[in-house]
Amino acid sequence: MRTPCWSWLGALAAAALLAGAAVAATAPEGRVIDVKAKRFEFNPPELQLTAGQPVTLRLTSADVTHGFYQKDLGIDTEISPGRTTEVKFTPVKAGRYTIICDHFCGSGHGNMHLVVVVQ
Amino acid sequence: MSQGIDRRNFLRIAGASLGAGALYRVAAALGPEPASRDTARRLAKANGEAVKPFSFVQLSDAHVGFHGPPNPTGTRAFERAVELINRLPEPPDFILFTGDLTHDSEQQDERRARMREFQRIAGGLRVKERHTIPGEHDAGIDGGALYHEVFGDSNYAFDHRGVHFIALDNVSRAKPEVGPERIASLRDDLARYSRTTPIVVFTHRPLFDLRPDWEWFTRDGDAVMKVLSPYENVTVLYGHIHREDVHEVAGCRHLAARSLIFGFPDPGGGGDKKPLPFDAEHPFRNLGARVVRAGPSASPGAATLRIDEVELTLQERSGTEGFQQILRPSTLEG
C-alpha cells in the first residue's frame, strides 16, 4: 500500500521541529539560518554554505548590541536586542570567512566571531 | 624629494624590540655636518619652526585591572616601565599612552577605580607632560564618557619643537572607526601646516587592514590616510595589537608598540588570536617599549628618526630575574 503524500509531509514537518535552534529551511529567498549573538559568542559558531546559493541570516541578540561585519561577504550590520535583523547575501567565492562583532560589547569582545565556510 | 627631506628615512627603525614603551628622539640636525644644519634651516623656513632635538616615550596597553593567566603580575610591567623611564640618562620631554590604559569592567565604579589606579602609577613618572588616548577597553562601552571625565579630550593636537602631534580616537564610537566629523576636523587641522611638516599621529587601532578578522583595523582608516597623504613626513604610532609591528604604505610608516600586559601572536603566523602564554622565568617577555633616536641619514641633507626597540626585563638589585623574584618577600633590613 502506498503511503499518502500528506503523511510524508507531516513526517518532514515533525523532523524539522525536532532539529533544534539553528534550523536551516529552504525558502523561496534561499536558505534561512537563525544566528543568535550574546556576549561573547555567535551560535552557531560556524556555517557551511554553498557558493552561488542565496542565504538569509536572521540575527538576534540575547543581551546587548553586537556588530556583524565581514567585508568580503558584504556584511555590515548591527544586532540590537529585542528585534530580528535579516542579512541576505549570496556567497560567490569558496573559502573561509570570519564574521566579527565590531561593536564593542565587553572584555571578551575581541574573540567574538562566526566562521563561514563556503564550498 | 622636496627641500631635501628624505621621506622614507624620516623614521628608521634599528635595534631589537624590547619592553616598556617606546622612546623617541627627534633631531633634525644632530651632527656638525653642514648638510644637517641646512636641513634644519630649510625645515624651519618651510614650517615656521625648526625641528629641535627632543625625545619622547610611547607606552601602550597597560590594561590596568587585568588579572589572568597571561599575566598574573597585574601592573608590575607598567610599574617597571615607570622605573626604567625614570632612569633614562636623558629624560624624555613627554610620554604618549596609546590606549587601553585600563581593562574593561562591567561595573562603572570599578572602571573609574582602574582609571585612577592608572593615574597613580603614571604619576610615578618624573616626566610630568603626558598625553593619552583611549583604547576600546577605556571608551568602547560608553562612548568615551568616563574616559573624558577622568582624562579629558580624546581628540586633540599639539606642537612640540617643530613636530605636529595628533591624537586620533578610533575607539569611542564603539565600532573601530574615527568618524566623518573627526576626519573633517583632521583635514582642517592639517591645512594649517606645510606639506613637509613632520607629523606624528598617535591612535589606538591600526589605521590599515592588519587583521580585520581580529578587529585589527579601522573601518575608515583609508579615509584618514587619504587626508594625511599630501604630507610627506607622517608617522603613525599605535597600540592595540600587543606586539611590535612595522607597516609602510605610500611613504607613511605605521608603528605598533608592545603592550604592558601580554603579547598576541604574529598575525601572519596562521594561529588563533590568543594571548601568548606567561613565562615565569621571563615575566615581561613580549612586553615593551620603543626608543626612537634621530640621527643623520646616509643621504646628504636628510633628517631621520631612528627607532630602537627597548625590552623590559625584571632586574632586581640582586641581578636575578624571574617571577619568583617578584613574589619573594624582601629580606633586607631597615
State the cell numbers at B109: 565604579
Q: Answer yes or no: are the C-beta atoms of B307 and B11 closer than 8 Å.
A: yes
- Please enumerate in sequence order all residues whose Cβ is within 8 A of that of B289, keeping only pairs 6 or more positions apart, or say none: B18, B19, B20, B21, B22, B23, B57, B58, B59, B81, B84, B257, B258, B309, B310, B311, B312
1.10.10.60, 2.40.50.140, 1.10.3720.10, 2.60.40.420: CATH of A22-118:
2.60.40.420
Chain A hits for B175, CB-CB cut-off 8 Å, are: 67, 102-104
Do the Cβ atoms of B213 and A67 come within 8 Å?
no
Instruction: State the ipTM, two decimals.
Output: 0.75
Distance from CA of B143 to the nearest CA of A (A): 10
Distance from CA of A48 to the nearest CA of B (A): 18
pLDDT tens for residues A62-115?
A: 999 999 999 999 999 999 999 999 999 999 999 999 999 999 999 888 889 999
pLDDT at A35: 98
The model carries a pTM of 0.80
Q: Is some CB atom of chain B closer than 8 A to the CB atom of A109?
A: yes
- Please enumerate in sequence order all residues whose Cβ is within 8 A of that of A10, keeping only pairs 6 or more positions apart, or say none: none
**CA-to-CA distance for A98 and A72, rounded, in angstroms?**
10
Alpha helices of chain B — where are they, by DSSP H? 34-47, 76-86, 108-122, 136-139, 145-151, 180-190, 221-228, 323-327
Which domains are seen in chain B, by residue range? 2-325 (3.60.21.10)
Distance from CA of A66 to the nearest CA of B (A): 10
Do the Cβ atoms of A102 and B141 come within 8 Å?
no
Q: Answer yes or no: are the C-beta atoms of B238 and B253 closer than 8 Å.
A: no
Residue with the three cell numbers 585589527: B216
- Please, which pLDDT band fits residue B162 given cuts at 50, 70 and 90? confident
Q: Is some CB atom of chain B closer than 8 A to the CB atom of A66?
A: no
- Please, which pLDDT band fits residue B25 given cuts at 50, 70 and 90? low
Do the Cβ atoms of A102 and B215 come within 8 Å?
yes
Residue with the larger pLDDT of the pair B108 and B25 = B108
Cis before A40? omega within 30: yes
pLDDT at B196: 86
Q: Is some CB atom of chain A closer than 8 A to the CB atom of B219?
A: yes
